[in-house]
Amino acid sequence: ILVTAAGTEEPLDPVRYLGNRSTGRMGFAVAAEAARRGAQVVLIAGPTHLVTPAGVRRVDVRSARDMYAAVCAAYDGVDAVIKAAAVADYRPVETAAHKIKKSDGELTLALTRNPDILYELGQKKRHQILVGFAAETQNVADYARGKLATKNLDFIVANNVAEKDAGFGVSTNHVQIFYADGRAEDHPLMPKAKLAGVILDRVEAILKQRTVT
């Protein structure tokens, strides 16, 4: 099982970066639970203070492009990808070699698109089960269903990060799961550790179904 977790850091200069509020808790919980169930787990993690779960092989990365390279290197050998990382959509066009000095007036940053890692995985999907996350602040179902289709996912775990107990930096989550066949499930507020089990139950069910048919 390949799990990605935490945010990415997109460097502006040697001391500054563009980042986001993801702490990595959701992905680390999935990696821990998958290892506990006996899976071989590779956890590709952006910068975080979290401790590596027992039995998990961890690869540390910083930027979205680092994460893309690490994920692609592992992709062929995995049965499922659970992409809990909050990947930066944009990076600075240039990373200054030296610390940017302040001057009077405005400073404008030019940004360019990062690769959409999950979209790329969806394009070259073979046997792999692909699970995405959608952190939204509005129109959760519409955006989540759109991403599910565009990125060629098996299911997507969507949450409204504007809710107090869901999303970044808290130990609970409140999600809906949308499936490629159109089904949707509402789940109650629960600890991320428990949600990790819910997600892995569904991955296991898809794997079992494939073994039978």
Residues that bind ligand C5P (CB under 6 A): 64, 83, 85, 87, 89, 114, 116-118, 132-134, 147
Among this protein's residues, is 160 annotated catalytic?
no
Cα gap 18→102, rounded to integer Å: 17
**Cβ proximity to ligand C5P, 53 vs 167, nearer residue:** 167
**Cβ proximity to ligand C5P, 55 vs 79, nearer residue:** 79
**Residue 117 C-beta: closest distance to ligand C5P, Å:** 3
Element (H or E) spanning 41, and its range?
A: strand 41-45
Buried b (16+ CB within 10 A) or exposed e, 136-172: beeebeebbbebbeebbbbbbbbbbbeeeebbbebeb
**Residue 8 C-beta: closest distance to ligand C5P, Å:** 8
**Residue 181 C-beta: closest distance to ligand C5P, Å:** 19
Cα gap 170→182, rounded to integer Å: 29
**Cβ proximity to ligand C5P, 118 vs 177, nearer residue:** 118
**Residue 132 C-beta: closest distance to ligand C5P, Å:** 4
Point out the catalytic residue in the list 20, 114, 139, 173: 20
CB contact set of 108 (below 8 Å; sequence gap of 6+): none
**Cβ proximity to ligand C5P, 32 vs 155, nearer residue:** 155
Cα gap 95→90, rounded to integer Å: 13
Which residues have a catalytic role annotated?
A: 20
